[in-house]
Amino acid sequence: MTKEFDLDTYLIVTNFKFKICIFDIKNFKTVYIQELKFKDKSETIDFNSLSKFLENNIFKIEKLTSKFINNIIIVIDSEEIKDLNIGIKKKNYVENLNSKNLENIIAEAKDLFKETYQDQKIMHIIIQNYLINGKTYLKFQKNLQTDDFGLEVNFISVSNKLTYQLEKVLEKYQIKISKYVSWTYVENYFKGKRNEFPVTVYEIINGINENEVNLVPKNTINKGFFEKFFQLFS
């Protein structure tokens, strides 16, 4: 069987189905997949049914792969997911735009989101537009001279309450959640394309969307240096 680091484990969790998949990332093929669909769509996720579903599949997977599942990627669709856009603008104090400008303004947008929505865990940060010299760009323009620089950023998050409930279920099987992914975001990104699960999730996680960013936590920036506008849209 493949080595442990060559296998990804994905778990789709919704209020109408569960699906677990083992994906061999070295050979780009599905090793194991199992799905449970419910006849009636519930308003919330049934965590008891999820626990039973995992119990019925984890042992089979570990026997098949001869490996313990230590980490899992949760692909989730729920009413407890927020999808919001934030606009932010700052003065440019250097001669030309560079990647440091971009890192700083994204970090500022992230801090603003976290301060406003403290009950949310960020799953995705996607840059929608770059605002430079009053013009809108889809890609970052390095080395341009400008007095100010802005971004329109899309945040997709899930409630801490839901992540806590999922973590408690998986604790029973000594499995940690390594990442949360929005199923709606995955579906929308690949709409009209031939790619199918689990390849779609693998590609999202590995940066197929060049405008999606993954920030490392950093120290809070002094907000006195920023000229900001802050807009939220449902």
Give tens-digit pLDDT for 54-86: 999 999 999 999 999 999 999 999 999 999 999
**pLDDT at residue 133 in the model:** 78
Q: Please, what are the domains in the chain?
A: 4-78+160-205 (3.30.420.40), 81-158+212-233 (3.30.1490)
Distance CA 101, CA 112 (A): 17
Render 93-148 in DSSP notation, one character per residue.
-SSS--HHHHHHHHHHHHHHHHHH-TTEEEEEEEEEEEEETTEEESS--TT---SE
Q: Is 197 helix (H, G, I), strand (E, B) or coil?
A: coil
Residue partners of 100: CB distance under 8 A and separation at least 6: none
In this prediction, residues 99-105 reach a mean pLDDT of: 81
Are 194 and 155 contacting, i.e. CB atoms less than 8 angstroms apart? no
Residue 200 has pLDDT above 80, yes or no: yes
Confidence of residue 43 (pLDDT cuts 50, 70, 90): confident
DSSP 151: E
Indicate the pairing of strand 17-24 with strand 81-91.
unpaired
Q: Which two tokens stand for residue 175?
A: 């499995």
Q: What percent of the chain is helix, strand and coil (3-state, nearest 5)?
A: 30, 35, 35
Average pLDDT over the chain, rounded to an integer: 85
Angstrom CA distances, 189 to 126, 178, 211, stand at 11, 22, 12
| pTM of the full structure | 0.84
CB-side neighbour CA atoms (13 Å) of 204 = 27
